[in-house]
Structure 1
């Protein structure tokens, strides 16, 4: 039986990291948007003219995810060749 290509292991690991980042992004957004946003409008505080729940969920969350993606791609992802190889690994 032929052994699974080593590139599939790397691709699966990187796909799981991507799904983890997407889940983290959703939990962050949902927690701030619905956690802080469910208060009455009169109780909102504002940051740069935006409601605090919107600032934390959409602005700060976006910046955090951008930084996380850059760090993870730079330090945890591996470049994988697409060409077929004759030798076994």
Structure 2
């Protein structure tokens, strides 16, 4: 019985670590996306900027589009890869 409970705890920690790594990967992807567009397109003089919906393209792609893509990615990741884990030992023993 004790071994079975320990295995369930190990599974919970394994799942939590996996989900934490996925969260870190999303944060790193967000930073790379933002940095690439903000400094890649924003290194020109303001007279040479192109505009999307009245915003400089570097700002639109890094902040507006980047936010939309990250929101969709987070929703997708949570719905597909994240699983519900019971936090109470009693709940874990019942399932």
Q: So what's the TM-score if we normalise by structure 2?
A: 0.85
Aligned to 1:6: 11
Partner of residue 34 from structure 2, selected from 29, 32, 53: 29
Give, in whole Å, the separation in 1 of the partners of 2:23 and 2:64: 20
RMSD, aligned CA: 1.5
Determine if the alignment matches structure 1 residue 84 to structure 2 residue 89: yes
Give, in whole Å, the separation in 2 of the partners of 1:56 and 1:5: 41
Aligned to 2:24: 19
Offset, 1:41: 1.0
Which has a greater percent of helix?
2
Offset, 1:66: 0.2
Q: Which runs of 4+ in 1 moved over 3 A?
A: none
Q: Deviations over 1:25-81 (max 9, x none)?
A: 000000000111011111100111100000000000000000000000001000000
Gaps of 5+ in 2: 1-5
Gaps of 5+ in 1: none
Give, in whole Å, the separation in 1 of the partners of 2:11 and 2:81: 16
Q: What SS does the corresponding residue of 2:89 show, helix, strand or coil?
A: coil
